[in-house]
Chains A and B, each alone.
Chain A
């Protein structure tokens, strides 16, 4: 049993579970699924300043912070008690491509060549952590949601603005992956 759980879980298990988050949140508390809002609530709670966008009673949205706290804890449990000892089974062409860019360590979920403290004060670190993270936080709020709020919750409830947002996410990601990242990976 434990051995089976330690293997990587298939996409359909993850997909069904993530999809069920939508009715779970609606049924237990009339909440709509969305994760990026947690960043906004953290701003409202910690650094509201005199910014109108953060002037609201964040405690009414505290459930969202309890939810992301759970995600952090769950990831800890999975990584330390259910972790898969084998390297990640990456698609062959992706593996070949990344190797050509010097990324060969697939023993962790993130490549050690990029995501390590040693890289922090390099140009690579600045781009992958600081600028990358900024674009995620700024972009999701500007778009009014992320993969969970738009791609899953929005599409599930047939809201066309969410389709626009989801297509934009994909276009941005494709542009980065095919045209910009090849240069960034060799910095």
Chain B
């Protein structure tokens, strides 16, 4: 279990972190406690993100069809460029040992392999081609005024819930 507690964590803190770490993708145990409005940094970036999602037509069902039919480079260009920029950034961060703006050491949790990445991945792929949306674009489609996507969103939420309920019974 990776964490960056700077004090000896209490059993309760460890248990809480372990639950959140179950196949998680965004767990960081920061010592810092900030007022809620510090989170607006993420909202601000999210706003730009949402604009890009719409303007580059990433939330378009049509663009996803083109991608899976191999008839357009657009989505491959978007994802490929994003990975290259992300890769260079992560390398620079690791090598320079730069810290966060609050002086914390930067920590990227390691992803452990389990068979869920295959079974779940295939299932998500099937859903992605039908809905034309991954979770991010679902939010953007609702924001862009496609009100019926509320139904898709509620179904996705329910899907996550059902996974949580049956998690122990599924092969991982």
Contacts and interface: CB of A to CB of B under 8 A. Distances in A.
Contact of A68 (B46, B101, B134, B145): B46
Contact of A149 (B25, B28, B113, B153): B25
Interface string A28-49: 1111111111111011000101
Interface in B26-65: 26-30, 36, 39-65
Contacts of B79: 15, 147, 151-152
Given A17-B48, A36-B134, A129-B155, A175 B23 contact: no
Contacts of B170: 142
A158 interface: yes
Nearest to B117: A165
A26 B98 CA distance: 10
Nearest to B168: A52
Nearest to A95: B62
Contacts of B64: 173
Interface in B136-158: 136, 138-149, 151-158
Given A94-B71, A136-B127, A139-B123, A37 B25 contact: yes
A137 B163 contact: yes
Interface in B103-118: 104, 106-114, 116-118
Nearest to B49: A71
A22 B86 contact: yes
A150 to B, nearest CB: 8
A157 to B, nearest CB: 5
A38 B23 CA distance: 14
B54 to A, nearest CB: 4
Interface string A149-165: 11111111111111011
Interface residues of B, number: 130
Contact of A109 (B60, B73, B128): B60
B85 interface: yes
Nearest to B59: A109
Given A148-B136, A157-B90, A76 B155 contact: no
A94 B148 contact: no
Contact of A74 (B74, B130, B140): B140
Contacts of A37: 24-26
A117 B55 contact: no
Contact of B56 (A14, A141, A177): A14
Contacts of A66: 39-40, 42-43, 46
5 smallest CB-CB distances across A and B, nearest first, come from: A172-B125, A70-B46, A74-B50, A15-B81, A19-B85
Interface of B: 4, 16, 19-20, 22-30, 36, 39-69, 71-75, 77-87, 89-90, 92-93, 98, 100-102, 104, 106-114, 116-136, 138-149, 151-165, 167-168, 170
